[in-house]
Amino acid sequence: MEFTDLTLENFEEAAEVVKRVTQETKLVYSKYFSEQTGNKVYLKPENMQITGAYKIRGAYYRISKLEKEEQAKGLITASAGNHAQGVAYAAKELGVKAVVVMPTTTPLMKVNRTKSYGAEVVLHGNVYDEACEHAYKLAEENGYTFIHPFDDLGVATGQGTIAMEIVKELPLVDYILVPVGGGGLATGVSTLAKMLNPNIKVIGVEPAGANCLQESLKNGEVTTLPSINTIADGTAVKTPGSKIFPYLQKNLDDVITVTDDELIVAFLDMVENHKMVVENSGLLTVAALKHLDVKNKKIVSVLSGGNMDVITMSSVVQFGLIQRDRIFTVSVLLPDSPGELTKVSAVIAKMQGNVIKLEHNQFISTNRSKAVELKITMEAFGTDHKNQIVKALEESGYKPRLIRANP
């Protein structure tokens, strides 16, 4: 079946179809973010889906609408992330052969997980664009149907079922915040939300370093960014979808951008206050809450996914702790003589600082006996505690110099 428009009838059908493979992701009221913003904030935890992201919705609905002949020939897609896993799982459930072309740089964990859902994985190219080009070539050679990650009205219809669930559970919702990469999720959610209630405001949220939709809307046409730079890899897209762009122009009320530093803070907020792991792209809608100039509104932030590898998670946590002054580094100069290190340590210990790393540089001065440099990285309870430790070092005769901690 070829999709030529987004219709309420198809959205209603999709809402029933996707129930076969989706977990029920009921809204989670956030006391923390509500108090922070002066609104009633709810989270839509799509990170709890079986494949770890909302992508299963669009993939399953789109594949379920393929003609029998198309299903028999099989399907193909290109992705290095959540779409790959969504397509692989959906195809397995529907008994359809799936080929997924992934860049050779794709983390092994994602490759293996996609394979575990039954898909044939082909590694090609260094970036998504090269993998996608190869996927189109294989589709033409083998008669596969290509399932686009976002620029497909059938896929967008499946993603839009999120709006149906939100409105049913929270009929008086005022704002829905959705992450934007290529725009498939934002297209489905904004279009259906406006059909159900034109008063609902739908806001797209992009990384500041990959704001392709914001630039496209500003220019009035699909625009390709010259480069992108963001830790939100799931939304690191240079060009939004051309087929879905008119729907975004019509139904999206605004686009907000957030920085990588804001995403890092949001990650820690989610872990500490909701005990949830959400990937950087899924955190866009959480970081955006502080950008909304509204009060006493019912707001839903869509958490699009939670597929984050442990190494990335560790890095984000470390940078977050540094941002919050929970970890910091000072440099002090002291004579190269016995007992000096003990004296410095005693000052820090008295202030309840916890030293986690020491770097000793004897070559800071030609006269070692007069001055060597000691870089001390330590844990603190926050900014006030950090300042107290620094002040104690100053009062003890040292001249501590704050330097950027290395995670």
CA separation for the pair 210, 190 (Å, rounded): 20
| pLDDT tens digit sequence for 294-324 | 999 999 999 999 988 888 888 899 899 998 8
Residue with tokens 């869509």: 302
The strand pairing partners of 332, in sequence order, are 374
- For the ranges 53-67, 109-123, 392-406, the one whose mean pLDDT is highest: 53-67
Residue with tokens 């949001």: 266
CA separation for the pair 400, 387 (Å, rounded): 11
Q: Where are the domains of the chain?
A: 8-55+156-319, 57-146, 326-403
Identify the active-site residue in 30, 190, 301, 304: 304
Identify the active-site residue in 55, 110, 201, 386: 55
pLDDT band at residue 405, thresholds of 50, 70 and 90?
low
pLDDT band at residue 85, thresholds of 50, 70 and 90?
very high
Quote the distance between the C-alpha of residue 358 and its chain's center. 34
pLDDT at 338: 83
64 is a catalytic site residue:
no
Sequence-distant (6+) residues with CB within 8 A of 232 are 179, 207, 210, 260, 263, 279, 280, 281, 283, 284
Sequence-distant (6+) residues with CB within 8 A of 373 are 331, 332, 333, 359, 360, 361, 364
- Sheet bearing 372-379, strands edge to edge: 354-361, 372-379, 327-334, 401-403
Of the chain, the percentage scoring pLDDT greater than 90 comes to: 79
Give Cα separations from 330 to 94, 240, 290, 337, 402 (angstroms). 58, 45, 31, 20, 4
CA separation for the pair 376, 291 (Å, rounded): 36
User: What is the pTM assigned to this prediction?
Assistant: 0.88
Q: Is the pLDDT of residue 272 over 90?
A: yes
Tell whether domain 57-146 is in CATH 3.40.710.10: no
Same fold, 57-146 and 326-403: no
CATH architecture, domain defined by 8-55+156-319 = 3-Layer(aba) Sandwich (3.40)
pLDDT at 234: 87
Length of the chain: 407
SS3 221: coil
Would you state the structure tokens that stand for residue 290, as one six-digit string?
């502080």
pLDDT band at residue 357, thresholds of 50, 70 and 90?
very high
| pLDDT tens digit sequence for 197-231 | 999 999 999 999 999 999 999 999 999 999 989 99
Quote the distance between the C-alpha of residue 290 and its chain's center. 17
pLDDT at 363: 73
Do the Cβ atoms of 106 and 130 come closer than 8 Å?
A: no
Q: Which residue has the higher pLDDT, 129 or 200?
A: 200
| pLDDT tens digit sequence for 110-120 | 889 999 999 99
Give Cα separations from 153 to 9, 13, 148, 149 (angstroms). 13, 14, 10, 11
Of the chain, the percentage scoring pLDDT greater than 70 comes to: 98
304 is a catalytic site residue:
yes
pLDDT at 383: 94
| pLDDT tens digit sequence for 239-255 | 999 999 999 999 999 99
Mean of pLDDT values over 375-386:
94
Give which of 144, 9, 172 is closest to 87, Cα–Cα: 144
pLDDT band at residue 96, thresholds of 50, 70 and 90?
very high
Mean of pLDDT values over 75-93:
93
- Sign of the Cα torsion 286, 291, 295, 299 reads negative
CATH code: domain 326-403 is: 3.30.70.260
